[in-house]
Amino acid sequence: MSGEDAPAQEQNAVDQKQETKPAEEPKPEPPKTESAPDAAEAAATPAAAAATAEGKAAEEEEEAFAYRALVLTGYGGYDKVKLQVKKGRPALKADDVLVRVKACGLNFADLMARQGLYDRLPSPPFTPGMECSGLVEAVGEEVTDRKVGDKVMVLNRFGLWQEVAVVPASHTFLIPEGMGFEEAAALPVNYITAYMMLFDFGNLRPNQSVLVHAAAGGVGIAATQLCKTVKDVTVFGTASASKHETIGEGGVTHPIDYRTKDYVEEVRKISPKGLDIILDPLGGSDTHKAYNLLKPMGKLITYGTSNMLAGQKKNLLAVAKNWYHQFSIHTLSLIQGNKSVCGFHLGYLDGEMELITQVMNTVLDLYKQGKVKPRIDSTWHLEQVGDAMRKMQERNNIGKVILTTEPMPEEEKKEEPKKEDKKDDKKKDDKKKEDKKKDDGKKEEKKDDKKKEEPKKEEKKEEEKKEEVKKEEK
């Protein structure tokens, strides 16, 4: 039903293709790039001969201009994002800049996009990616506040997971002194999101209490750091137990293992009256829980539906469940409870770059004061985007997952690290089927390390279970 059972072989094939592709040197292709479609026609008149010569030079330069880009070729699993080579220098509008991308950030919205669950994007094929960092390589004729050589962060609706990106100059922010490209790629989406939720909708003030779900994720870590900029704020953070030490060091006052404990109960033990602010990236029934956990004058800020993401490909059951349990509220309940319910998604705010720039400047001030600092979980080559997405989706990251445009060293490619992952892949697909049986779309167990130790054994167990279910069905 959900496409979880796509054969592993097919995925293998695709992954190999992805792996080999970037190794190929981009070969100049025969004439006729888009930018010089009528050169031959123009050459037909003598007066145009000189122009044609110029055009030819441009054409040649054009041909030489090639860059790698990740492309979402269709909705589905990790393999749907493919590394391709694009040719031709992209055209710049008057207020655009061309950025030579150094690093890109991964976000949950990218995972949703891959499954076709995010509606602010074109239909595939297109290049995903909402944030990156890099160097300005060219500026449009009306751009005055950016110049060639500027180090910038970029925020865009999509299109940034490639080596060269053209965006309006207003979508770029200067990288402050001392901030590396990876750090810069990790900052925009998570910190702007966390800041606007906590300080615009949330109106966070001293002595308040905040619940941060997925406290080890990108937004979670940003939110925790931002909470710590306000006096005596208590942060409750959910994460699996193995991450508690790290998030505790990062500022979470009370880490809660949502997989072994009921987080509502845990919060009530410490804060019986409830909480002032709850950041909810989960959606579905967790939004209901959050609402009930608010104090009077409390604010629930929901900013995602990650509960919909239950597997590599679109899980219709999880999506349906999420819709079914979607939180809906009447104003009379809000009045009687003195509560606030807010929705936030940076992806729908792209018309508000002025506001976003203000927030970014505030965040960068906090960075310069040493009060916030993105935490990088891991950096992956463009070729490894599938693994990078998996790490994030399976919540194995602590901090931001980053893609770098640096070429992948040959020896890394030869090591074929994918093979072991491939086994994992199949195993996980089986695992997910089982999860669906349990009707538990969210709390996938992520015992990767264990699995690697004894993958065959686990697989067998899963097979046995499946057969048991079949028998029951008969």
Residue 149: Cβ-neighbour burial (10 angstroms; 0-12, 13-18, 19+): exposed
Considering only 94, 297, 320, 469, the residue that binds a copy of itself (CB under 8 A) is 297
Comparing CA positions, the residue from 177, 196, 116, 186 lying closest to residue 155 is 186
Binders in 188-227 for a copy of itself, by CB under 8 A = 196, 200-201, 203
Q: Per CB under 8 A, which region of 37-45, 141-149, 236-244, 326-334 contacts a copy of itself? A: 326-334
- Residue 109 within binding range of a copy of itself, rule CB under 8 A: no
Q: Per CB under 8 A, which region of 23-31, 146-154, 351-359, 412-420 contacts a copy of itself? A: 351-359
Contact 311, 4 (CB under 8 A): yes
The distance of Cα 371 from the centroid of its chain, to the nearest Å, equals: 23
Name the residue nearer to a copy of itself (CB basis): 77 or 283. 283
CB of 335 to a copy of itself, least distance (A): 4
How far apart CA 94 and CA 154 sit, in angstroms, is 17
CB of 201 to a copy of itself, least distance (A): 5
Site string for a copy of itself, 124-163 (x = CB under 8 A): ----------------------------------------
CB of 229 to a copy of itself, least distance (A): 17
CB of 357 to a copy of itself, least distance (A): 14
Q: Per CB under 8 A, which region of 137-145, 252-260, 348-356, 455-463 contacts a copy of itself? A: 348-356
- Residue 305 within binding range of a copy of itself, rule CB under 8 A: yes
Within 10 angstroms of residue 348's Cβ, the number of other Cβ atoms is 12
CB of 348 to a copy of itself, least distance (A): 5
CB of 367 to a copy of itself, least distance (A): 22
How far apart CA 322 and CA 269 sit, in angstroms, is 28
Q: CA torsion 355→121→11→281, rounded to 10°?
A: 40
- Residue 455 within binding range of a copy of itself, rule CB under 8 A: no
Considering only 12, 271, 326, 378, the residue that binds a copy of itself (CB under 8 A) is 326
Considering only 335, 410, 439, 449, the residue that binds a copy of itself (CB under 8 A) is 335
Considering only 17, 32, 345, 368, the residue that binds a copy of itself (CB under 8 A) is 345
Instruction: State the number of binding residues for a copy of itself (CB under 8 A).
Output: 38
**DSSP-H helix ranges across 352-417:** 353-368, 385-393, 410-414
Cis amide linkage into residue 206, ω under 30° from 0: no
How far apart CA 361 and CA 349 sit, in angstroms, is 17
Name the residue nearer to a copy of itself (CB basis): 286 or 425. 286
Within 10 angstroms of residue 472's Cβ, the number of other Cβ atoms is 7
Comparing CA positions, the residue from 86, 98, 102 lying closest to residue 407 is 102
Residue 313 in tokens: 């490909």
Binders in 233-292 for a copy of itself, by CB under 8 A = 283, 287
Considering only 332, 439, 456, 471, the residue that binds a copy of itself (CB under 8 A) is 332
DSSP 200: I
DSSP codes, 235-270: EEEE--GGGHHHHHHHT-SEEE-TTTS-HHHHHHHH
CB of 349 to a copy of itself, least distance (A): 6
Which residue type, as a one-letter code, is found at position 143? V
Comparing CA positions, the residue from 424, 467, 464 lying closest to residue 446 is 424
DSSP 325: T
Name the residue nearer to a copy of itself (CB basis): 47 or 332. 332
The pairing of beta strand 172-174 with beta strand 151-155: antiparallel
- Residue 316 within binding range of a copy of itself, rule CB under 8 A: no
Considering only 103, 341, 372, 398, the residue that binds a copy of itself (CB under 8 A) is 341
CB of 352 to a copy of itself, least distance (A): 5
* Residues sharing a CB contact under 8 Å with residue 2, sequence separation 6 or more, in sequence order: 311, 313, 314, 315, 316, 317, 318, 436
Considering only 52, 302, 307, 404, the residue that binds a copy of itself (CB under 8 A) is 302
- Residue 340 within binding range of a copy of itself, rule CB under 8 A: yes
- Residue 362 within binding range of a copy of itself, rule CB under 8 A: no
DSSP 162: B
Name the residue nearer to a copy of itself (CB basis): 92 or 349. 349
The pairing of beta strand 294-302 with beta strand 275-280: parallel
- Residue 231 within binding range of a copy of itself, rule CB under 8 A: no
Can you give the binding site for a copy of itself, defined by CB under 8 A? 196, 200-201, 203, 283, 287, 296-297, 299, 302-305, 326-345, 348-349, 351-352, 355
